Amino acid sequence: MKKCFTLTILLLSFFALHAQIKLKLVLFSQGYTRPLGIENCGDSRLFIVQQKGQIIVCDSAGHRRTTPFLDIKDRISNGSERGLLGLAFDPNYGTNGFFYVNYTDSNGNTQISRFRVSKNNPNKAIKASEKHILNITQPFANHNGGCTRFGPDGYLYIGMGDGGSAGQCARRNAQHQPAIRGRALRWAVCVR
């Protein structure tokens, strides 16, 4: 029975790999500057994270709004691998309106902040609502990470990168276990 099952899986895999799959790419939306992330808050809208410091709303038909959801260009260091790098909507966004961003501040350090959406306009965040949650020194301008996600445990997880530098990883943070423990894995923030 086990051999028959294994053979069936192998045959299905062979035919799946050799099947002619035709894909057609269709332009959905355009007009973004250095987009690096697409997020959803639980409805039909998409939120496009632009590295230069803006989050743009795109509707389900692909139409982008001309006014940014959030514009923090004046608060970030930009260029290379810096800028607005991540966005995560609070698991209770529908009721509390909170979302979190990961950006490099004017000193080049990672800033994790919470913002709130306007109660009167779901397509506009309140820039003045920024609450600084965490600021982490970045040793170099590259490899700053940026991935920001809520886990099923309710914690906000932040990808910090390995610190970078010329020659890629001058401090070998990605290969050094104590640095990994201290730098990458301990940054889980409970925000509830």
CATH number of the CATH domain containing 67: 2.120.10.30
Q: Within 10 Å of residue 51's Cβ, how many Cβ atoms?
A: 23
Phi, psi of 10, rounded to the nearest 5 degrees: -65, -45
- Quote the pLDDT of residue 159: 80
User: Which pTM was predicted?
Assistant: 0.77
Residue 114 half-sphere exposure toward CB, CA atoms < 13 A: 14
Phi, psi of 36, rounded to the nearest 5 degrees: -135, 5
In a domain, 82, yes or no: yes
In a domain, 4, yes or no: no
In a domain, 161, yes or no: yes
In a domain, 16, yes or no: no
DSSP 77-104: --BTTBSEEEEEE-TTHHHH-EEEEEEE
| C-alpha span between 112 and 109 (Å, rounded) | 10
In a domain, 121, yes or no: yes
Which residues, in sequence order, are CB contacts of 103 under 8 Å at separation 6+? 53, 72, 75, 76, 83, 84, 85, 86, 110, 111, 113
- Count of domains in the chain? 1
In a domain, 77, yes or no: yes
Spatial strand order of the sheet with 84-89 comes to 84-89, 98-104, 110-117, 125-136
Q: CA torsion sign, 54 to 59 to 62 to 67?
A: negative
Tens-binned pLDDT, residue by residue, of the chain (192 aa): 455 555 566 555 666 666 666 778 888 999 999 999 999 999 999 999 999 999 999 999 999 999 999 999 999 987 788 899 999 999 999 999 999 999 988 988 889 999 999 999 999 999 999 999 988 877 666 667 778 999 998 889 888 766 666 555 555 555 554 444 444 433 444 454
In a domain, 145, yes or no: yes
In a domain, 45, yes or no: yes
Residue-number span of the structural domain to which 180 is assigned: 32-190
